Amino acid sequence: MTIQWFPGHMAKARREAEEKLKLVDFVMELVDARAPFSSQNPMLQQLLHQKPKMMVLMKKDLADPRETEKWIRYFKANDIPAVAINVNEKEDINEVIRLGKELSQAKMDRLKDKGIRPRPARAMILGIPNVGKSSLINRLANKKIAKIGDKPGVTKQQLWIKVKNDFELLDTPGILWPKFEDEQVGYRLAAIGTIKDKLLSMQDIVAFVITYMQKHYPDQLLERYAIRPEMEDMWEIFVSIGKQRGALESGGNVNFDKVSDLVIRDLRTGRLGNITLETPEQK
């Protein structure tokens, strides 16, 4: 199944990002720590060319810390500096700044050797929608600049932000690629709230999450919903969760849509525990 989603403003954002790349010294690409591969944008890789890049794994507080460490090692093994952060942790924000300064130092040294007056390094921040760009920008600038929203596609224009005296950051709207060839990628992004819920069946998304958790996080599934690993019939699982959590309609029947909503809500808010939906080995 191919999922098509490419609003007009994203096509424009892609063109603008390509034009602005020549103005920056390095790129920060933001991904969701719960799906670090699926939340990368292959279209961005085509745009970046040889521009130095660092990966920022957002929302680490919702991801499995063991898998996050694996992903950090994976990126570093591919010569891409990487850091996982919780935007509410000051130490994590300082680490982003430190890594950014380190990544831009070679460029700054070359400018100095040419006799060019020192200036702040310039960075572009890129990522797919709803990955947490605006929250990170506000923390880096130490004040509220970027509009924050819980719906994909809040940021619609480019904006330069000064990060202390260390570098200047160019924010850009979130850019998704035109289509998802891999159905699994679509399910992961829908589960964590990166693409609009209506693009896929919510029941299918929840079935994907439950099946994945049965294999990789059976204890958390058992603790939250009393779902045992040997329970394979998805209809039975939905009914069990619905009855346990009161997701019922008139007549006492289980409402599968309500079950889907509560499971997704539990996943996105961390009530299901720290979960990562893919590993470096699975990519």
Which band of pLDDT confidence, cut at 50, 70 and 90, is reported for residue 8?
A: low
DSSP 8-state class, residue 11: H
Q: Which among 224, 84, 100 is positioned nearest to 161, based on CA atoms?
A: 100
Our CA dihedral for 42, 14, 58, 199, rounded to 10 degrees, sits at: -80
Residues in the chain: 283
pLDDT for 164 equals: 77
H helix runs in 114-182, sequence order? 133-141
Comparison of pLDDT for 201 and 119, the residue scoring more: 201
**What average pLDDT does the segment 61-74 reach?**
97
The sign of the CA dihedral 213, 130, 44, 177 is positive
> What's the pLDDT tens digit per position in 184-200?
888 999 999 987 777 78
Per-residue pLDDT of 19-40, as tens digits, reads 778 888 888 999 999 999 999 8
> What is the distance of C-alpha 187 from the center of its chain?
13
Q: For residues 126 and 145, what is the distance between their CA atoms, to the nearest angstrom?
A: 16
Q: Is the pLDDT of residue 208 over 60?
A: yes
Beta bridge partners, 53, equal 27
Is residue 163 pLDDT above 90, yes or no? Answer: no
Question: Identity (one letter) of the amino acid at 61?
Answer: D
Query: What does DSSP assign to residue 153?
Result: T
Q: What is the dihedral of CA 212, 77, 134, 102, to 10 degrees?
A: 160
| Domains contained in the chain, CATH given | 3-179 (3.40.50.300), 201-269 (1.10.1580.10)
Listed ranges 15-19, 24-28, 95-99, 109-113; the one with the highest mean pLDDT: 95-99
**Which residues lie closer than 8 Å to 212 by C-beta, 6 or more apart?**
277
CB 79 within 8 A of CB 51: no
In terms of phi and psi (left: phi > 0; alpha: psi -120 to 50; beta: otherwise), the region of 115 is left
Q: Which residues contact 242 (CB under 8 A, 6 or more apart)?
A: 248, 254, 255, 256, 258, 259
Q: How far apart are CA 40 and CA 55, in angstroms?
A: 10
